Amino acid sequence: MSEPNPYTTPGARVEDAPEPVDRRFRWKAAVLGAATDLGGSALAGAVLVFLSVMTASGEGDAKEVLESLGQSWPFLLVSMVIGGGFTVLGGYVAGRVARHSFLTHALAAGGLSLALGILLFGSDDGPYSGVVAIFGYGLHLPLAMFGGWLAWRRLAGR
């Protein structure tokens, strides 16, 4: 019988060596991050509008309530905070799916969701449209990058 040579490398993967990561840009990560942002924001917005209409149903018909919501600062503020939370989540998802270049993938997801959001939902012509444009659109990419940074921190914390 031949004994195994003690000087050969082990056949099993050594745990202290990091697993190699393919460094190409992953569009799948950016698309999933953008879909998380848009889908979550749209779903949460629909729930918020539904709850607002249900609680204010005694004030008039639903069409009047919907028109007044677009001019209600508290409603717009809550909507922007919820949308910002989903933007951070979308950047986080993009970074986690990509497993490398977290900020780049989060920025791509944020840019994609911002462009699609403007195309799908249009612009606002209400009295607070300037504030919504500055904070809603201006903070979109930094919030997505914050989500990518959180994904990087989670990986670095292992």
Query: Residue 31 — pLDDT band, cuts 50, 70, 90?
Result: very high
- Encode pLDDT of 128-137 as tens digits: 778 788 888 8
Q: CB count, 10 Å around CB of 149?
A: 17
- Encode pLDDT of 73-105 as tens digits: 888 889 999 999 999 999 999 999 998 899 999
Which two tokens mark 136? Answer: 């809603």
Residue 25: which of 102, 112, 139 has the closest Cα? Answer: 102
Q: From CA 71, how far away is CA 126, in angstroms rounded?
A: 6
Query: Residue 43 — pLDDT band, cuts 50, 70, 90?
Result: very high
Question: What is the three-class DSSP state of 55?
Answer: helix
Start-end of H helices in 1-72? 27-55, 62-69
**Residue 158's pLDDT is what?**
64
The DSSP string of 67-136 is HHHTT-HHHHHHHHHHHHHHHHHHHHHHHHHH-S-HHHHHHHHHHHHHHHHHHHH----STTHHHIIIII
Does the pLDDT of residue 1 top 60, yes or no? no
Residue 49 and residue 66 in contact, taking contact as beta carbons nearer than 8 Å: yes
Q: From CA 22, how far away is CA 139, in angstroms rounded?
A: 30
Residue 111 and residue 55 in contact, taking contact as beta carbons nearer than 8 Å: no
